[in-house]
Chains A and B, each alone.
Chain A
Amino acid sequence: MNKIITKKILNPTVTLMEIDAPEIARKAEPGQFIILRVDENGERIPLTIADFDREKGTVTIIFQVVGATTMALNHLNEGEYIHDFVGPLGVPSNTANLKKVAVVGGGVGCAIAYPIAKKLHLNGCAVHSIVGFRNKDLVILEDEFKKVSDKIFIMTDDGSYGEKGLVTDALKKLIESGEQYDEVFAIGPLIMMKFVSKLTKEYGIKTTVSMNPIMIDGTGMCGGCRLTVGGKIKFACVDGPDFDGHEVDFDEAMERSTMYREFEKRAREETCRLLEKGVR
């Protein structure tokens, strides 16, 4: 049981929670994830670590309320407990020996991109952040990114904030303007990572993506999170979650992510009803 120390609503669908987890905070590195269960009959879901404070002994998670489990999680308040919280899992992002990088975040993926940008910045690496959202209301972590970025570009689909367009538009412009990146980190929806990787491949820029497939144990036991990377089966939980974006079979990953779509829809509706009843 891990206590929720703070809870912040970042936008209508994205919530931040700082969780008391001293053992995990002691070891956590950017790119790693935790697995949690909200309650005794809950499913195990992976969430990437958005931040950690070794002194306070806390780990921060940022999640989008998309399904039954994140909905139930979002109903917990400060001072309440998460039933199970395990980590840090996965291999940390490799941020060493880089001089200049572009960090591309899409939507709630920015929560995962942020600790990487922060670590790179602390390492003395020049960071150009490109963060994209559907519209102004969904923008998160703007101040945080500003603090750790040498340049920041905010993109919205509808142009209601920052610049109108996709993150790939901004990245392409930067590359064509002559910016030379040692590496690009792209974290966001699969479709975004696919197109960022496609773009950077044309320019021959190494690109790391963070995969977040369906997972159960998170320790290499179930193989549910498997994906094809460079023609070989890899497990996102123990071999990743970071992979070479030019090698990942995104189309397959997108297909696999829809395996339980019908079930998820029903579960979400059911949870919705239950939670509403509880509130009344």
Chain B
Amino acid sequence: MANMSLKKNEMLSQEPNVRKNNFLEVALGYTEEQAVDEAMRCLNCKNKPCVSGCPVKIYIPEFIQKVAERDFEGAYRIISESSSLPAVCGRVCPQETQCEQRCVRGKKGEPVAIGRLERFVADWHNKNSTEVVEKPKQNGHKVAVIGSGPAGLTCAGDLAKKGYDVTVFEALHKAGGVLVYGIPEFRLPKAIVQKEIDILKSLGVKIETNMVIGKVLSIDELFDRGFEAIFIGTGAGLPNFMGIPGENLKGVYSANEFLTRINLMKAYQDNSATPIQNARKVAVIGGGNVAMDAARCALRLGAEEVYIVYRRSEAELPARAEEVEHAKEEGVIFKLLTNPVEILSDENNFVRGIRCVKMELGEPDSSGRRRPVAIENSEFDIDVDCVIMAIGTSPNPLIKSTTEGLATEKWGGIVADEETGKTSRPYVYAGGDAVTGAATVILAMGAGKKAAAAIDEEIRKRYGEN
């Protein structure tokens, strides 16, 4: 008997007034009862529009059916066929523009809470599964994966399961890429990422941290060392700045720097040697997930007032709906249709405010969104002592600049086939943000999966194996 409630089952979360003072996870997840009840809302419809909205085509109605039957491990097995990081994606995917957007139940009322169910299933598995991961039989072929973010981890995992001898090279001292340095603990607990990495290690994947490929070893040197194929999943880590006066004042951070200090270097903990400014009033420029993360981190560090300054309107905010909602609940102030033109300095070259202009939406631009245009004589100042630039990132040029014959786009992205990840260099594959520019975890994961399959196929072909 289907559950015909028009609303999703609410997910328990920490109270806004409590959570804005800690870095613990905000959303607490469904109980078994809530999950089963929510699963009953799925109509199991024939044409499965939800699946077509999923970048990795998870068999969504099938796994939800298993949840409804209380076969949680069965549900996990179904998700695992398509996704390597369900505990991560259940938390960070923008479901409202993917699977849930197409759900039939969403036509009248709210869609089935697919993301929350995915998260529930993955967490249930992590908590209850007694399955021991074993190292598969080795096939003797060596593959190098550069970058240990979602694309790299997925590619490494899939290849390891097929018996490849995989080494992941990570530039930082800790594996996980953006899952570790970018997304805060309160949205994605690091223990979840660590668990995924531990599973890879059990599968035999070697992880070498502190290895900046392009500097300490080039792509060509990796081939010299016996790697037969290489996957580049180096992400889009280069922060953009606006180019307005005052951007180099003390108290202006890129979101990458701000979040890295907090997430990777644990600047908010007493025993961390990495400092962070104790700002009183903070303006975060940008409207994406990174901007929301930075704003909510600033609150948790004790800021009294935190602003999101975004040049378009609420409808265009690129962040996940849930993150916007959480940020508002916690007291983040949204200054929409507002664009900074200058960062103002105090007498000691610290930030004392930002000068902004009001914007209005004009004709649609190349992205199809209405272009924000400055309103004349609308300047006003906001009093802040810290500004965080969260206006996007570009791919890191380190590999591009040290690899001959690797074709890249003008804006820096590596040219790679969408279906296989093949680049202009034989046996070199690429995927994730390094190819697409800053996008989502699930897309990067999908690219890692496709590349793993293509690498497997090419190496088999090379050796005439089937």
Contact = CB atoms under 8 A, between A and B. Distances in A.
A24 B216 contact: yes
B215 A87 contact: yes
Contacts of B277: 259
Given A44-B265, A217-B172, A222 B274 contact: no
B459 interface: no
Interface stretch (B87-95, B253-261, B282-290): B253-261
Interface residues of A, number: 40
A227 interface: yes
B271 A41 contact: yes
A250 interface: no
A41 B268 CA distance: 12
Interface stretch (B234-242, B311-319, B326-334, B418-426): B234-242
Nearest to B254: A223
Interface in B332-364: 349
Contacts, number: 106
Contacts of B215: 27, 87-89
B275 to A, nearest CB: 4
Interface residues of B, number: 39
B13 interface: no
A201 to B, nearest CB: 22
A187 B339 CA distance: 40
A219 B241 CA distance: 17
Interface string B161-180: 00000000001110000000
A220 B398 contact: yes
B247 interface: yes
A83 B173 CA distance: 9
Contacts of A256: 248, 250
A226 B256 CA distance: 13
Interface string A2-35: 0000000000000000000001100100000000
Interface stretch (A50-58, A97-105, A163-171, A260-268): A260-268
A34 to B, nearest CB: 10
B273 A267 contact: yes
Given A68-B273, A86-B173, A224-B257, A23 B216 contact: yes
A88 B215 CA distance: 6
B250 A219 contact: no
A221 B248 contact: no
B265 A220 contact: no
Interface string B209-235: 111100111000000000000000000
Contacts of A244: none
Nearest to B240: A223
Nearest to A267: B273
B275 A69 contact: no
B349 to A, nearest CB: 4
A191 interface: no
A263 B266 CA distance: 15
Given A23-B217, A87-B215, A219 B275 contact: no
Interface of A: 23-24, 27, 37, 41-44, 68-69, 83-89, 216-224, 226-228, 233, 238, 252, 255-256, 258-260, 263-264, 267
Given A27-B217, A87-B216, A238-B398, 17 more contacts: A43-B275, A44-B274, A87-B212, A216-B260, A217-B171, A219-B171, A219-B396, A221-B181, A221-B238, A221-B239, A221-B396, A222-B239, A222-B257, A233-B248, A255-B349, A260-B275, A267-B273
